Amino acid sequence: VYDENATNLDPDDFAAPQVFTDATPQSPAGQYDVNATDGFAANYHFVYHNAHLVIGATGQQITEFAVDANATYGDDPLPFFSATTSGLQVAYHSSNPEVLEVNGDELLIRGAGEATIFAHQAGDANYEAAPELNATVTVHPAELEVVAHDASKEYLAPIPELTFHYEGFVYDENATNLDPDDFAAPQVFTTANDQSPAGQYDLNATDGSAANYHFTYHNAHLVIGATGQQI
pLDDT at 179: 85
The mean pLDDT of 198-222, rounded to a whole number, is 96
pLDDT at 181: 87
The mean pLDDT of 103-123, rounded to a whole number, is 96
Check if the beta carbon of residue 30 is closer than 8 Å to that of residue 126.
no
Indicate the pLDDT class of residue 10, thresholds 50, 70 and 90.
confident
Q: Is the pLDDT of residue 123 over 90?
A: yes
Predicted confidence (pLDDT) per residue in 186-196, tens digit: 999 999 999 99
4-8's contacts with Cβ under 8 Å and 24+ in sequence apart are none
CA distance 185 to 47: 92
Predicted confidence (pLDDT) per residue in 32-61, tens digit: 999 999 999 999 999 999 999 999 999 999
